[in-house]
Amino acid sequence: MLASPSLVKQNPLKNWQVNRADIQHIGRDLQRPECVLAERDGTIWTADARGGVMRINPDGTQQLVTPFVENLAADATDASFETRYVQSVGSLPNGLCFDAQGNFIVANWGTDAIETMTRQGHLRTLCTDIDGQPLGKANFPLRDSKGRIYFTVTTREQPWTGQLNTKTADGYIGLIDEHGVRMVAEGFCGTNEIRFDPREEWLYVVESTGWRISRLRVLPNGSLTDREVYGPDSLGGFPDGFAFDAFGNLWITLIFTDELIALTPDGEILTLLDDSNPDTKKRLFDHFHAGTLTPEIMGATHGTLAPWMASLTFGGPDLRTVYLGSLRGTSVPWFRSPVPGQPMIHWNER
């Protein structure tokens, strides 16, 4: 038995899948919208490869907020695949969350740093090293109800794509609190997004190149313990982003093959959306298992809806609107869910 389901007897995701005909899009000309944040008033924010975030208003208008507009390190439109995705040149905001004032906490994949940025574009670096060593590939931040910031580092390998073949378990989780910055868990295989359960008793962790979800119990001082695999040992692909719904299902994106699955409280895997290409998927997996994966093989593996589907978030007034983030898309696909999502910590703050 995994997480406790709600009192609803029938899982609303049973025998349900996303109808592609119902999928709509918001945003235009986006660049690397890896992470999506939704606010109660309908405003959507996405990470942007130009060094900041894109604000998408409920009426569809949008504004780019970035302190790097005058001196772009790498324009995502013109940069090569090697520059943009392998070398990770320039500022590349990856994971985002809000602080208590509604500003952004940013895990910057390009600068290997945890940063904060106001809605006006004022940027401040929180940390670039831990225990005297460079952070590595900063992936995702998460704030808890005590104001502490947890963050993940995927790997310290350079380039990061090497970890896809070595499968080195050098990923870790860091914590920023009143005592400073420290590592609270390590030994993960491709650490990616993290989420809390509603009571913040457990922290759930994506291990992308481990093809699994793990979780750890959260102690009062912020430390993590009692690590265990949550669900099956293998999800059959590369998990990237995830989010709980109100029933206790864990929705998970599988990057590269562009699939959306759900892990039920009973441990069953449900396929909600499959945008994969069978031929490129098989080639990717064969080379991944053989340790011979190359950027060219990765680059040729993607779907058409949200290329390199990387994340999801629940929004809308009833939290039943699902937004999909991606690394190679230029808009944000969205659709309606039969069950609301678990509210993020910022949902009732502003």
pLDDT at 70: 42
pTM of the model: 0.94
* Contact predicate 128/117, CB 8 Å: no
Cβ atoms within 10 Å, residue 267: 11
The rounded distance, in Å, linking the Cα atoms of 22 and 192 is: 29
pLDDT at 329: 96
Share above pLDDT 70 across residues of the chain, in percent, rounded to a whole number: 93
Which domains does the chain show, CATH number per domain?
20-336 (2.120.10.30)
Give one DSSP letter per residue of 244-259, joined into a string.
Answer: EBTTS-EEEEEETTTE
pLDDT at 87: 78
Mean pLDDT calculated for residue range 222-250: 98
The rounded distance, in Å, linking the Cα atoms of 235 and 97 is: 26
pLDDT at 78 over 90: no
**280: Cβ contacts below 8 Å, ≥ 6 apart:** 300, 301, 302
Tokens of 209: 């190149």
Displacement of CA 31 from its chain's centroid (Å): 16
pLDDT at 84 over 80: no
Please name the residue that has the structure tokens 């992470």: 35
pLDDT at 73: 46
pLDDT at 7: 52
The rounded distance, in Å, linking the Cα atoms of 27 and 15 is: 30
pLDDT bracket for residue 74 (50, 70, 90):
very low
Q: What is the DSSP letter of 10?
A: S
The rounded distance, in Å, linking the Cα atoms of 298 and 137 is: 18
pLDDT at 295 over 70: yes
Peptide bond into 278 cis (omega under 30): no
Picking from 144, 221, 218, 216, the residue whose alpha carbon sits closest to that of residue 187 is 216
Give the Å distances, CA to CA, from 130 to 133, 156, 188.
5, 12, 17
E-assigned strand segments in 4-159: 24-26, 36-38, 44-48, 52-56, 62-65, 93-98, 104-108, 113-117, 123-127, 129-130, 133-134, 138-143, 149-153
| 302 phi/psi in degrees, rounded to 5 | -170, 160
